Amino acid sequence: MLAEHRVLTTHQITAIAFPSGRAANHRLRRLYQWRVLDRFQPYIGRGRAPMYYVLDTAGAHVLAHEDGLEPRELKFRAERSVGIAYSLRLAHLHGVNSFFTTLLADALARHDCAVTAWWSEARCARHFGDLVRPDGYGRWREGDREIEWFLEWDTGSYQLSRFVAKLPGYFELATTTRIITPLLACFATPQRETHARNLLTEHLKTHVRPHDLPIATTNAQHLQHVGAGASPEMWLPLRNSRAGRRRLIELLAAWPQLAPPATASNTFPEAIEPTSQPRLSPPAPMPPWHARDLTWSPAW
């Protein structure tokens, strides 16, 4: 997961991979000592930030050998990996990864749910980068229903006109692939979400096929109030918004033009990975054990 998504906190790792914080801390400490992982703790001014973990040299070598690669083929550099600690993108990555790890935690707590895909920004760029560069791609299954989406995560650091300028790329992707994939966008504040919704609505009025890009929005303050994940009513569709905010799976009712789950689930995750250079295989979204009985699989 760290090779794919770059950085995860202790809380996020515990939620998706360990039965308790104590077990996570014990194992993470050993992995840090063995240089499988590196870690840092950013300064936040008030309070104490959680520990952030990234891949280290030994971890990159282990993953390379598992995939039949020479470590040097990965061109892994430990200083570049831990350099995210000083990057302005740390908050952005933390937000995106928090969204998906919360979904994973929800799925592990229920027998009828699963995160069936979680792609990083880098993997999305390799597949769709000539048209769009979303912050992530995911799929969620709940019972016999399944929904897929692209994610855009706003931290309030740029003009919203830049966000609106991404829409033609998403429309072109839908036209090229003949697949309608919803776009979920989380904005930094309620005011910014409202402003963005007005801009998005005006832009869609100029498009001949606005239904080809279903959009739903939320904001970080709302997530702090109701919580993230699949259970809270957090997403407000840009169209058909009279019913208010909806749960993730309930967005299907707002967008009847979406393909059936069986069709949607057999598209992007099976796409061929570009082979311009050796790459690690993607991690499975769900860990090989179930949180309800806490039975660990030998594969883990």
**pLDDT digits over 274-289, tens only?**
666 788 888 999 887 6
- For 229: left if phi > 0, alpha if psi spans -120 to 50, otherwise beta; the answer is left
pLDDT exceeding 70 applies to what percent of the chain?
A: 90
Quote the pLDDT of residue 273.
62
Does the structure show a pLDDT above 60 at 261? no
Distance from C-alpha of 272 to C-alpha of 275, rounded to nearest angstrom: 9
Contacts 24+ apart (CB under 8 A), 245-249: 245/218, 246/216, 248/103, 248/140, 248/142, 248/147, 249/140, 249/142, 249/145, 249/147
pTM above 0.85, yes or no: yes
> What are 160-195's pLDDT values in tens digits?
999 999 999 999 999 998 999 999 999 999 999 999
Q: What is the pLDDT of residues 200-220, one digit of tens each?
A: 999 999 888 999 999 999 999
How far apart CA 132 and CA 171 sit, in angstroms, is 10
Please write the tens of the pLDDT for every residue from 40-91.
998 877 778 899 999 999 999 999 999 999 999 999 999 999 999 999 899 9
CB 197 within 8 A of CB 238: yes
